[in-house]
Structure 1
Amino acid sequence: MDLYTPVVAKLNELSIPFQIVEHPPALTTEQADSFIEGIEGVRTKTMFLTNKKKTQFYLLIMDDHKMLDMDKFKSIVGANRIRLAPSDSLMEKMSLTPGVVSPFGLLNNADRDIAVYIDQEIMTEPRMSFHPNTNDKTLFVETSDLLTFIQSIGYQVEVIDL
């Protein structure tokens, strides 16, 4: 299933400019970073998280070099236990596999039941980079345009201090 084409179509529909860099499949953020060295834009990691009962799902975007303070995140979202969502939940909710998680996967969430959070630390960056639902490309987009994209498909973004 081609999950990349709908990303490009939606960005074009919204008249959002973007830059695509094609590269061999990247299995880690370090590997992905090596393929896009020298191109301006914060390198991000996007984590798909869930509570213990898998009744609430969270998409968290932050700098790929920053470590997540899980206790602080739990406090912010008001949950007792948070963990990375299992791969079957990721597939069910976003039609993605581990290593390809990005805000563009929200296009595939028919239930619109994922809460979206971005670490405020990267909000001052002019551009961000993500896999566009495939790990053999990296997409660069202006930060403000990313917010436009996310809101246009029915999500609110909460900027948090991690």
Structure 2
Amino acid sequence: MELSEGRPLDTEGRLEKEVRVYDLLDQLGITYWRTDHEAAGTMEDCNEIDRILDVLICKNLFLCNRQKTKFYMLMMPGDKPFKTKELSAQIHSARLSFAPEEYMEEYLDITPGSVSIMGLMNDTDNQVQLLVDEDVLQGEFLGCHPCINTSSLKLRTKDVFEKFLPAVHHEYMVVRLGQEEEK
């Protein structure tokens, strides 16, 4: 695995949704670095990718309420534990659970193992609320998939939150996870 700046020179054989990510980032003037790799479906798979990108890849969880009427994407550091009770209290939504994969595909055009903030570009009706752990905002860079888990991107955190999110018409809510461990 090696790190390359920008989009792949040849996009033949790549999924359309991946190429759309590169197109949008280029259109927005966002600098990014990319590495291609075997499918990374777990945080353990991402450890080697983290070393190549020299950044912590976020754990991205696709969640919903019990009625499946509200959907959330949670971005958090991969090494932080996730407790639904803690998050539910902060967003005032009882009974959070992992959303069924058909909603992930319908709203984000993403399959399990590829959940990424980049998928919000496909959520044109704003069905998914972005939740971001405060620690994600502290780093200069963040890592994510371009809607497919066989490539990973390194982007400036500031560019993601100040250029990308406004361009895809999404706002975010900051949450603080891991507080229970601090007590």
> Normalised by the shorter chain, which TM-score bucket?
over 0.9
Matched, 1:75 2:89: yes
Q: Which moved more, 1:106-115 or 1:126-135?
A: 106-115
Question: In angstroms, what is the RMSD of aligned CA positions?
Answer: 1.2
- Which of residues 70, 79, 90 in structure 1 aligns to 2:104? 90
1:27–1:46 Cα change, 3 Å:
same
Structure 2 unaligned regions, length at least 5: 1-14, 178-183
The answer on 1:63 being equivalent to 2:77 is: yes
User: Of residues 12, 24, 34 in structure 2, which corresponds to 1:20?
Assistant: 34
Q: Does 1:161 align with 2:158?
A: no
TM-score scaled to structure 2, two decimals? 0.84
Structure 1 residue ranges, 4+ long, deviating more than 2 angstroms after superposition: none
Q: Looking at CA atoms only, which structure, 1 or 2, has the larger radius of gyration? A: 2
Q: What is the 5 A alignment of 1:1-162?
A: 1-147=15-161, 148-162=163-177
TM superposition shift of 1:94: 1.0
**Separation of aligned partners in 1, 2:127 and 2:40:** 28
Unaligned runs of 5+ in 1: none
1:36 is displaced (CA, Å) by 3.9
Quote the Cα distance in structure 2 between the aligned partners of 1:38 and 1:48.
Answer: 26
Q: Secondary structure of the equivalent of 1:123?
A: helix
Q: Letter of the 2:48 partner, please give it.
A: S
Which protein, 1 or 2, shows the higher relative CO under an 8 Å CA cutoff with sep ≥ 6?
1
CA distance in 2, matches of 1:69, 1:36: 24
TM-score normalised by structure 1 residue count: 0.95
User: Number of aligned pairs?
Assistant: 162
Distance 1:48 1:35 in 2: 21
